[in-house]
Structure 1
Amino acid sequence: MSRPRKDPRMERAAHLVPGGARPRFDLAATPATSGRLRRDPRAEERLALVPGTLRRRLDRSQRAPAVSVVAVAAPVEAEAAPRRVVIAEPAFLVALVPDAPGGRLSAHDRQLFGAARLLADAGGGAVLALVDGSSEELGAAGADRVLALPITGYDPEAKALALNAALAALDLRHVLFPESAEGGDLARRLAALSGEPFFAGAESLSPKAVTRAARGRRVEQRRAPPRLLSLAIDAIAPHAGSLHEALPVEFAFPETTGGALLSAEFIPADPARVSLAEADFVVSAGNGVSDLDTFRMLVAALGGTPGASRMLCDAGLMPRAAQVGASGTVLEARGYFALGIAGAPQHLQGVARCEHVIAVNTDLHAAMIERAGLAIVADAQKVMPALLRLLGEEGAP
């Protein structure tokens, strides 16, 4: 269907007889056309049809127009660079101590920067990041100043003593911690050393008030923000929109004397025995995985926690505790590897908070493929032994 579109105004102008007082029309004149061609929705749908599938599927991203249309592209404006903020002489400092597992800021750490910026921007202050090492992410996260702590390895007592020295010497109006296993322990150590009031697990924060639920969430505790407080996860949005200088700060830390702890070592838990709610990396099998022995070997080789879709748990092939989804366990993992999982709505709710998602599925249009940051369109039964061979060649544990 390539008939030109009618333009009633042009046709009326072509029939108009000039020179008359009243408008007269010559119906025998040749009508003019606008030149625009009519669209053919059926032809466009045939072009978008994906061949070779049992179910009728359309690939809208590859849709080509049924007729040739000449279009002039509008000039694309260059994306504006983020605004750089420099605070030369801050009125005070709001410090924070991120967990930064593996040297990278977690989502909880970025929310901590958002809370610190909320307190600092209210009165002309600056944000001071107290970290174990340097990181390129601190400026974009919202840090104006960076102070490196003289700590190597896992030593919570020495770290608490160093923070106590900085708290006593520097003008720190607030010190924020993530309410996590490591951050919560460090915050309570610092509160015991300094004698400062400590507010744990804040669920909302403003320059004038901090709140949290108590007594089985039947009451709300509210007070002015103290000097030491820890922030619950998803309480404050991360900082975004401006780039800060993250200027290094020099500070002479005193020599730490021997404490009660002779040695401290962080021993990670066995990922195969960790619950899904606390797992950091989860590998799940779906209906596309039939060789569960190979699946368990791959999970052990990758050092992940095994999970499964509801279909495998309902069939009794995987334990109910391994079910991922709204009716199973909602994950907080940084990494999720889905093998042969199409991605039901309940399952996608269970992986909504995962930072990185990798999916393997034969269906290009599966919901899990769309959710994944890295997708492999292939049979999971063939991908698993190939991954095991690669891991064996690289000498993976």
Structure 2
Amino acid sequence: MSRPRKDPRAERAAQRVAGATRPRFDLARTPETATSGRPRRDPRAEERLALVPGTLRRRLDRTRRAGEAAIPAPQPLATPAPDAPALRRIPEPAFLVALVPDAPGGRLTPHDRQLFGAARLLADAGGGAVVALVDPAADDLAAAGADRVLTLPVSGYDPEGKALALDAALAALGLRHLLFPESAEGGDLARRVAALSGEALFAGAESLTAKAVTRAAHGRRTEQRGAPPTLISLAPDAVAPHAGTLHEALPVAFAFPATTGGAILAAEFVAADPARVSLAEADFVTSAGNGVSDFETFRALIAALGATPGASRMVCDAGLMPRAAQVGASGTVLDARCYFALGIAGAPQHLQGVAKCEHVVAVNTDLHAAMIERAGLAIVADAQEVMPALLRLIAEEASA
């Protein structure tokens, strides 16, 4: 060999720490008695040198060499501010596409927002504008996609007066299309306007484009297709809601003709008992899961909230709640506006049952539970402690 052999014993003796009772060795020390003429590698020192500081997980930079400067700690990236939606103005529209949302209590439902999406689809195809014909002023009309807003001179439940006002607006404004939601109130209003105006109504449209509108017929064995007529009622989930641009929602002045009294003298909505409403028709459902053991407090909370009771499959299998209260793919699929889950982890079948709910509120001790991830508002706490706290807050609000 061209180089002398190493002497491990001499190197080991050179690394021994003097003065120690038990033999101790400094492995980072370079042996002075090494016969190879080269310093030995220190893997631990190299790893300490390659360690990237300031990171949560252990990271090593293998490209660095001895004597290089330390890598500075990475700085947290600044979260860019979300861009404001662009405002779109249509000062002189070529035509008008109107819609009549249900908007119960001034709040647009998901079906109403899909109606705005259909109206925008028809209006944007030829430079038109969307006119929202509303009874009370609804929220988020600009974000929903309304270019103009026309307030109807009718308040409350008055289908005859509203149909007469819509017939007058249809004739005076020269509306190319007038859209309704195919709902209990919207479908009835669409048929009244069709009878007054003499226009053909395409009811229950399941797909809509600027050139064609379709629906199923004859027990869904055939499909009816045609050009979009003046009056259209839209089925749920037929068109995606409008998103991306903000519109003006300018108020429109229009002189409606004076309405005369109709056959309906007075009408009012009679609220149903939420405890007796079926889950499929309930608007607000509160469910108990395996994390609830005090069902007396649970029933008191349901009565205080005015909600319809529900439960997970485990609770129903245990006989703590009736089988009719089971929520999920093997129970009842909900179409509620709000779902309040207490102590429910969120099995896949249960999540299928709440997929159509507009708002989900969950209470669970597990931060990583599937129901917590699905919820728009989550409380990571024990449901047994949250229920009495909610009852106290409701009592304080009632007494104030």
Quote how far apart the aligned CAs of 1:372 are: 1.4
Among 94, 97, 101, the residue aligned to 2:97: 94
Question: Which of 1 and 2 has greater Rg?
Answer: 2
Secondary structure of the structure 2 residue equivalent to 1:118: helix
Corresponding residue number in structure 2 for 1:37: 50
Among 295, 307, 320, the residue aligned to 1:304: 307
Asked whether 1:180 is paired with 2:183, we answer yes
Greater mean deviation of Cα atoms: 253-262 or 79-88: 79-88
Greater mean deviation of Cα atoms: 131-140 or 335-344: 131-140
Among 105, 110, 135, the residue aligned to 2:113: 110
| 1:14-33 to 2 correspondences below 5 Å | 28=38
| 1:1-397 to 2 correspondences below 5 Å | 28=38, 37-38=50-51, 64-66=56-58, 70-73=73-76, 77-395=80-398
Ranges in structure 1 where 5+ consecutive residues have no aligned partner? 1-26, 41-62
Q: Alpha-carbon deviations, 1:368-395, whole Å to 9, x = none?
A: 1122122122221222222222222222
Corresponding residue number in structure 1 for 2:29: none
Quote how far apart the aligned CAs of 1:149 are: 0.7
1: CA distance between counterparts of 2:47 and 2:93? 65
Secondary structure of the structure 2 residue equivalent to 1:211: strand
Quote how far apart the aligned CAs of 1:95 are: 0.3
Q: Alpha-carbon deviations, 1:203-259, whole Å to 9, x = none?
A: 100111111112222211111111111111111011111111111100001110111
Quote how far apart the aligned CAs of 1:30 are: 9.6
Letter in 1 for 2:343: G
Quote how far apart the aligned CAs of 1:92 are: 0.8
Greater mean deviation of Cα atoms: 336-345 or 384-393: 384-393
Quote how far apart the aligned CAs of 1:190 are: 1.2
- Seen in structure 2, the aligned counterparts of structure 1 residues 38 and 99 have a Cα distance that, compared at 3 Å, is same
Q: Is the 8 A contact 1:95 1:172 kept in 2?
A: yes
Q: Is the 8 A contact 2:108 2:139 kept in 1?
A: no
Q: Once superposed, what is the RMSD of the aligned Cα atoms?
A: 2.5
Secondary structure of the structure 1 residue equivalent to 2:50: coil
Letter in 1 for 2:249: A
Quote how far apart the aligned CAs of 1:173 are: 0.7
Letter in 1 for 2:152: L
Q: Is the 8 A contact 2:52 2:73 kept in 1?
A: no
Q: Is the 8 A contact 1:155 1:265 kept in 2?
A: no
2: CA distance between counterparts of 1:90 and 1:30? 82
Q: Alpha-carbon deviations, 1:270-307, whole Å to 9, x = none?
A: 21121111111100011111222221221111011111
Aligned length: 349
Secondary structure of the structure 2 residue equivalent to 1:176: strand
Normalising by structure 1, what TM-score? 0.82
Q: Alpha-carbon deviations, 1:50-90, whole Å to 9, x = none?
A: xxxxxxxxxxxxx9334696114556544332221111111
Identity rate, percent: 75
Quote how far apart the aligned CAs of 1:337 are: 0.5
Q: Is the 8 A contact 1:338 1:358 kept in 2?
A: yes
2: CA distance between counterparts of 1:29 and 1:254? 101
2: CA distance between counterparts of 1:372 and 1:248? 36
- Seen in structure 2, the aligned counterparts of structure 1 residues 311 and 163 have a Cα distance that, compared at 3 Å, is same
Quote how far apart the aligned CAs of 1:364 are: 2.0
Secondary structure of the structure 2 residue equivalent to 1:235: coil
Q: Alpha-carbon deviations, 1:316-357, whole Å to 9, x = none?
A: 222222111111111111111001111111111111221211
Secondary structure of the structure 2 residue equivalent to 1:99: coil
2: CA distance between counterparts of 1:278 and 1:335? 12
2: CA distance between counterparts of 1:387 and 1:327? 30
- Seen in structure 2, the aligned counterparts of structure 1 residues 368 and 69 have a Cα distance that, compared at 3 Å, is farther
Quote how far apart the aligned CAs of 1:28 are: 4.7
Ranges in structure 2 where 5+ consecutive residues have no aligned partner? 1-36, 60-70
Quote how far apart the aligned CAs of 1:178 are: 0.9
1: CA distance between counterparts of 2:205 and 2:118? 10
Q: Is the 8 A contact 1:164 1:190 kept in 2?
A: yes
Letter in 1 for 2:220: R
Corresponding residue number in structure 1 for 2:8: none
